[in-house]
Structures are given as structure tokens and as C-alpha cells.
Structure 1
């Protein structure tokens, strides 16, 4: 199996540790709360991670997603695909209505994702947690929404080596019969939970749990995959975990890793709809859970396997 090396950072995470003089030390991590708009994890180097959930936004997303020492890992609305939102979730089609792209000239999306009742329910030394309700319907639709979703996003504070994990849990209830569609062209079944790598996150290698890299991953099944490379001349990695309870686990992956004229196109997607559309009858609920591990150094397979095993025990 191909291996990505690991170099652990031995800095101390001061989350209530007692010194020899029995003085309680303050945590280096804090939260900036903007009720109804965002929750931001802050550290000694500035912003670590910001979850955006303003109702005026097309959908919730995380940007910036940084290493714990402040190096950027996400690209928000790049020129080639301005509907890429850093780290985000979006359906491609629901009942043949496009919820993914917007019109470049108007900014309008045919399928509307409405953010309701977003609340910060935890922001302490362990984690920040936001719960929200999302409603899905065509943009001009005035009646009952087609689907209602409850979403819980937990951002853990960094560990002693500087890594941290985000857990993203969704429960989607159909209010009428629904069909979740994809791009029908062979090998083009992208969508749902997605990561777009930062312009300065280069060069990057993609690797999955089976040791495949870059294009070898595309369309193959694996419980996790990772984007690993350099930011500001130092290593970093973003791994995505597909929970064993998700439909079709282990998921197929849609990946892109190539250079474009304006920068890299690094895209990592546990593609729920890669090979087929899915349907949900009125009253049925589909649950989806993903994990994201952010590492401010090189990450090896053994470390990622251990992290995935711990994540797989999560029952949300």
C-alpha cells in the first residue's frame, strides 16, 4: 500500500492543563459567534475554520477551512466553478430541478435551499456545534417544500498535534416522492458532500484507503480518501470519511486533480449518486454522516485508518 509519511508536531494543546504551579492555563482556541450568520474557530494564527449559515447564502458551507496554524485549504467560488463553496453539501438534481449550479449572469439557482432556525448549541473548549433546518424546493415554488432536512455540524478544537475533525450529520425527510439525480454521462456522477482545494494548496496527491492515487480513485469504492500536499511550503492534508451507515457504503469517489490556467482543480467527493440516481418516498428519511480530518502536517495511512475507525463508531 502506498503510504503518506507522518511527522507529528509536539506542541501542547492548553485546554485546561494544570502547570507545576497549579495555575490553570487558558485555551489557545476560542469561538467567534455571529448568531444567524456564522461560527468561527480562532487560534493563535487567526481563523482556523468558519461555518457560514447566513439565510441570505445559497446554502451552508465552510470557508475558510485552514490548518490550525492558519494556512488555507479551501477555495470559495473559483472562476471555473463559482458554485463550489469550499467544503459544502449540495444535491445536483431533485425531481429534475438543478440545486447545484447557478446562472452566471443572474446568480439564480433553479432549486432553492432555504436555511432556517440555525442555532449555535455549543462553543466551548471541546467543540463548536451548529444545528439548523434546511428546506428544499424550486426557486419560484410557493407551496410546501419538497424536503426538510435537519443538519448538525460539529467542529472539534485542535488536538495536541494540531489536527482537528469536523462531523457533518444530516437527516433528510421527503415531504413528497423525490428522485435525486446526477449528471447522466458516464463517470460524471458528482455532487452531495464536496471539497474544493485552495489555490495555494499545491502540489497535491489524492489517495484512498486502498492505496490508489489520483485518477485511480475515480469511480472506485473506499471508506475514506485524502488530499495531501503543501501549503506555504509545509505539508497538510484534508481527509474525508464516509460513515458506514451511509447508503452504498463504502462510497464511490469522484475526484479531480489537475492544473487549470488560473490555478489547480483539486476536488474530492464521496459521490453518493456516482453510479445511480436514488429515490425517497414521501415520509421517508435518509441519514448521511461525513467526517473531515484536517492535519497540519503529513498524514500516513495508519493514522487515517485509526481516525476512521473512531469516526465509524459515531451513531448520529
Structure 2
């Protein structure tokens, strides 16, 4: 059963609400001089947020976001917060460029980002086309991410990079991550990865599953799973790749957000449905 959702959009912020709620289910931040990121993303049922912003162990990580490494030697990951690589880091400019309500059950919006080299010159830009539905106590997100080169680019082989999720991991309570092939990673190729952990607000289990679409580059993609259960479908793990000036590459991802009742069997069934969706 679908639940109604509504969207409030501004130049640098999108908020999505359940129909009659006053607190948002999700906030997409698009800072004028920063990387866009989704935080908080609330698990259905009011058990807490499944994202964390700027944890002490990785202060440059912000909920659900896109980060890249070694693009012509420039980093778009650690936001100049790591002293050893700050001089190699680029910067961002982001904004909300479109929002629409497709139906009472779904909302969609687009955030775009310019990626600038350390001298402030544009290297590439992207469009993140998001949609959200709330169905059967599961929040379901879709992302179509299109990256376009403004100069010839080489994306170097790296241990992580791409869409990344930072959940509120606490070492004293832990959590689990498992992929569609039964592996706990890291760097295993898989169709999906699911992460579960107790959420600080309630102690109840929050679950997030991320899908890699069959038409994506390097599918089934290698996944990064870090020591705090941050996850990322990372084609750069498999090797370097390139875009010529003016060329684009599109990636499609699905994300499910739920609680302890979001089982691996449910996730696998929903991935099967997702895999049948054709790229437009």
C-alpha cells in the first residue's frame, strides 16, 4: 500500500514529507559551494535516521552522496580535510535545478553539480535525477546519475569512489553488511548490498539496501564496504576508465530504506523487479 508524499523545493535544498507530517522523511542539501548530499533519511516507522553527517572517523562523509578519486589526479572525496592530499583536492558548486510531483505517491527532483580543479576551473558536471516513493513501510529511492566531461578525463583505479552511504555506525553496537552473493566484502562483485545496524535514536534496527542496475558500467560492480560499514558501488575498483570531452556516462541505482522486517529475501525480490526496469 502506497502512502502519500509531498515535496518542498528551494534553490539549494529539497525536503520530502509524508503527506501530513511536519518533519521531513528526507532532506537533499545542495550547498552553493559544496558537495550535495542526502541527510537525514528517516527510516519508516519513526525509528531514526539511517544516515550520518560528518562522523568523527570520516568528517568529509555526508549521509548519501557521490565522491570521486583521482580524476586526472584531482580528488573529489575528502574535501581538503586530509592534510596529506588537500593540495590535490577539487571543489564543488551544486544546486537544485528541477522538482516535480509525478503522482500522489511519488516525488522527483534533480540536483546538478560542477566539479572544479584546485585552480577553480571546471573539469566535469553531473545531474542527479532522484525519485522517491513510500510503500509498505519501505522508503524507495531511485537515482539516475549522469556525469559529463568538460575536458578529457581519466578516472584512476582506486579502492573506493562513486555513490556512497554513511550510516550512523557505533562500534559498541556494531552492525552487518552482506551482498547478494552472500559475501561480506570488501571489493566483491554483487547485484546489491544490504547494511543493518541499531539506530542511535531508538536502538531499533535500520536497514538500507543499494541496487546496482544491470545496464551499469562494470555490472555486477565491485563494492567498497569499509570498517564502519560505509558502502559504495565502485567501478573504479576494477580499473581506470575515461571520458573524452563532451562525453557522458550514466549510472542507475536503487535504494531501499526500512527496518528489521526488510529481509534479504525481500531485497532480492525487489532487485529482480528493479532489474527489469529499462533505462530510458
Q: Please classify the TM superposition score into its range, dividing by the shorter chain length.
A: 0.7 to 0.9
Q: Deviations over 1:144-200 (max 9, x none)?
A: x322322201122x212x1011111112222221011244xxxxx111110111146
User: 2:111 is matched with which residue?
Assistant: 132
Greater shift after overlay, 116-125 or 65-74? 116-125
Gaps of 5+ in 1: 1-11, 16-26, 184-188, 258-264
Distance 1:266 1:42 in 2: 27
Determine the C-alpha separation between the residues in 2 that align with 1:109 and 1:87: 23
Any conservation in 2 of the 1:52–1:63 contact (CA below 8 Å)? yes
Q: Which residue of 2 aligns with 1:78?
A: 55
Report how many aligned residue pairs link the two structures: 271
Tell me how large the CA RMSD over aligned residues is: 2.5
Q: State the SS of the aligned residue for 1:273.
A: helix
Structure 2 residue 175 is the aligned partner of structure 1 residue 204:
yes
Distance in 1 separating the partners of 2:100 and 2:230:
31
Instruction: Tell me the TM-score normalized by structure 2.
Output: 0.87
Compared with structure 1, are the counterparts of its residues 133 and 46 closer, same or farther at alpha carbon in structure 2 (3 Å cutoff)?
Answer: closer
Provide the C-alpha distance between the structure 2 equivalents of 1:35 and 1:273, rounded to a whole number of angstroms: 33
Which residue of the partner structure matches residue 28 of structure 2?
51
What does 1:140-179 correspond to in 2, within 5 Å?
140-142=119-121, 145-156=122-133, 158-160=134-136, 162-179=137-154
Report deviation, 1:239: 0.3
CA distance in 2, matches of 1:174, 1:152: 18
The structure number with the bigger radius of gyration is 1
**TM-score by structure 1 length?**
0.78
Gaps of 5+ in 2: none
Q: Call closer, same or farther: CA 1:123–1:35 in 2, change over 3 Å.
A: farther
Are residue 302 (structure 1) and residue 265 (structure 2) matched?
A: yes
C-alpha distance 252-308 of structure 1, shift in aligned 2 (>3 A): same
